[in-house]
Chain A
Amino acid sequence: MRSARLSPYLFVAPFFVVFAAFGVYPLIYALQLSFMRWRGAGAAHWVGADNYLYLLTSPEFWSSLGNSAIMWLLIVPIQVVAGLGGAVLLANARLRLRGLYRVAFIAPFVTPLVAMAQVWIVVFDEDYGLVNYLFNLVGLPDVGWLTTTLWSKPTLALLFLWKTTGFAIIILLAGLQAVPGAVYEAAALDGASRWRQFWSITVPLVRRSMAFLVVVQTLAVFQMFAEPFVTTEGGPYGSTTTAGLYLYEHIAASDLGTGAANSFLLVLLVFGLSLGAVRLLRPKDEVS
């Protein structure tokens, strides 16, 4: 049958058309542009590796990576621990109201990031915000949550954590629920303490979900953009200029050749980090 042989190609063709037009083509074009000086208008000229060299010797570039690395430290370890804690609390077949708790934890994940970033502006305002109002009630002084270099990163990290820890809980909970209850019962019979059961049974069995979570969140943290864009515009003193926001600044400055080069440096970094995370968290006895 002729149509039966042709149809699978027709069925997958639309994806490849869209991918060629809005994936492959722009990437090749941008790769070429990353070796050129071009300011969005006029003639582009070949500058060799200058854009890459400029970035690799630019303090702003390294500072944007440093900011993202600090954000990663403030977010990912806390989220893995909190996510696992939340999942363990929910993973009990006899827990009532589980559905309600689950809704509460995921609700932030469903809210638009931009809207919540606005709420963060209001809640963490130095002069009139809710958090400093509460601080003053108990006699603590005002804190410049979004206006000091000390607090700007933790305040944005908190927004990220608040918004996505429910996602972490759900992912890890699914991993936990795949563990048969009989395994715990057997361990309990053998006299293993709750803590011992947690380390010897729970953690190894959710390793796969944990690896997935770490990779996804590493990608997300290094691409973080809307949080600083809406709340701090990268300030104060560049302390919240993340790798993602720094990339955008090339667009704002119409320096697209450098921006393209920055894109490729970032993709290499993100690939490297995800591969590292996968390696590190892969169960040691895994074959596949």
Chain B
Amino acid sequence: MNRTRPGVAQYVLLTVLALAFLYPIWWAISSSFKPAAEIISSPLSIGALTLDNYRAMFADVPIGTGFANTALVLAVKGAMTMFFCPLAGYAFAKYTFPGKNALFGVVMLTLMLPTLVLIIPLLLEMSALGWVNTYQALILPGSIDAFSIFWMRQTIAAIPDELIDAGRVDGAGEFGIFAKVVLPVIRPGLAALAVLTTMNVYNDFVWPVVAVNDTSHQTLQVVLATLAQNITGNRIGADFATVWGELLAAGSIAMLPLLVIFVLLQRHFINGILAGSVKG
């Protein structure tokens, strides 16, 4: 890493860039509190603030249902990831057993499978099972993913074998060692895994939009997309400003949870993002 003192120009450039990255988020959130007509007539200034856009949005859009569905999917899918992926990672990191390399090879191979390719095959399977518009369709596919197993294997491999052997000497069972010795040691890795999983599930869109089409099962992202499509579809005639106000209110409220988690748990977020590049 370079150790020369950074110049003023570097700070100016970085600050301008940082503001440019943040501006769209700031503009969307601040505009969502403006009277709808002003979003169009004076997009740069901020005068009187109002909650009207939020009131209209809550009346028109089933965003509560969206949040509830996303929370449910996140809770179950997250729990499965947080339990089964470290467990499998532990087996691959600390055991020798016949067929281990072949099995791990399969895990690595599935890493290369583009998500999009599975969409139509999965949709066909769901309709054969009668699972279209169900929670299990949203939750089960991809609930134990190869990347998280790979990552947890790397994390657990760094634990000294002596620690695990000590647990064995103390008479702990195989699962007991995982639960009482391995999990507590990899807590930072688990935190990063939790944050990354939350982001991925919360923002997931392609599969939910295909797997679910009735409003009662739509996740938050699908609810948002439906709102946007209604707007672009009915461009002419609709009261434009009001609709935009609702759109920005819905978008802002959807951004909020992850932005808050991100600001609070930055380090885990960045570790999670970086974990991916290790395999490069």
Contact = CB atoms under 8 A, between A and B. Distances in A.
Interface residues on B, range: 35 or more
A11 B107 CA distance: 14
Interface stretch (A56-64, A70-78, A175-183): A175-183
B120 interface: yes
Contacts of A97: 11
B251 A12 contact: no
Contact of B24 (A121, A133, A162, A181): A162
B91 A11 contact: yes
How many A residues touch the partner, as a band? 35 or more
B236 to A, nearest CB: 11
Contacts of A43: none
Interface in B89-144: 90-92, 95, 97, 100, 103, 106-107, 110, 112-125, 127, 140-144
A216 B280 CA distance: 10
Given A8-B91, A105-B18, A114 B280 contact: no
A248 B208 CA distance: 13
B220 to A, nearest CB: 8
B221 A114 contact: yes
A181 B1 contact: yes
B273 A167 contact: yes
Contacts of B14: 89-90, 101
Contacts of B21: 104-105, 107-108, 162, 165-166
Main secondary structure, interface of B, reads: helix
A23 B118 contact: yes
Contacts, number: 295
A110 interface: yes
A61 B110 CA distance: 26
A108 B25 contact: yes
Nearest to A98: B14
A25 B3 contact: no
A5 interface: yes
A230 B228 contact: yes
B51 interface: no
A237 interface: no
A160 B18 CA distance: 17
B76 interface: no
Interface in B240-264: 240, 244, 247-248, 250-252, 254-255, 258-259, 262-263
A264 B224 contact: no
B116 A26 contact: no
A184 B3 contact: yes
B88 A112 contact: no
Contacts of B19: 104
Contacts of B11: 97
B228 A110 contact: no
B207 to A, nearest CB: 10
Chain A binding surface SS class: helix
A97 B142 CA distance: 38
A105 B14 CA distance: 10
A176 B274 CA distance: 13
B115 A111 contact: no
A179 B40 CA distance: 49
A38 to B, nearest CB: 9
Contacts of A15: 84-85, 88, 107, 144, 146, 149
A107 B1 contact: no
A264 B227 CA distance: 32
Interface in A240-272: 244, 247-248, 250-251, 256, 259-260, 262-264, 266-267, 270-271
Contacts of A86: 17
B5 A94 contact: yes
Contacts of A208: 280
B1 A177 contact: yes
A49 interface: no
A212 interface: yes
Contacts of B273: 106, 109, 167, 170-171
A222 B117 CA distance: 11
A110 B115 contact: no
Contact of B118 (A27, A92, A107, A112): A27
B198 to A, nearest CB: 10
A9 B202 CA distance: 31
B88 A12 contact: yes
B161 interface: no
A54 interface: no
Given A128-B240, A184-B2, A11 B88 contact: yes
B64 interface: no
8 contacts: A7-B95, A91-B1, A95-B6, A111-B255, A116-B28, A122-B247, A225-B206, A270-B114
Given A92-B6, A130-B44, 13 more contacts: A3-B174, A12-B91, A19-B106, A102-B266, A110-B199, A112-B258, A113-B205, A118-B248, A166-B21, A170-B270, A184-B1, A212-B276, A256-B124
Which 4 A-B residue pairings sit nearest by Cβ, starting from the closest?
A212-B280, A26-B121, A30-B121, A104-B18
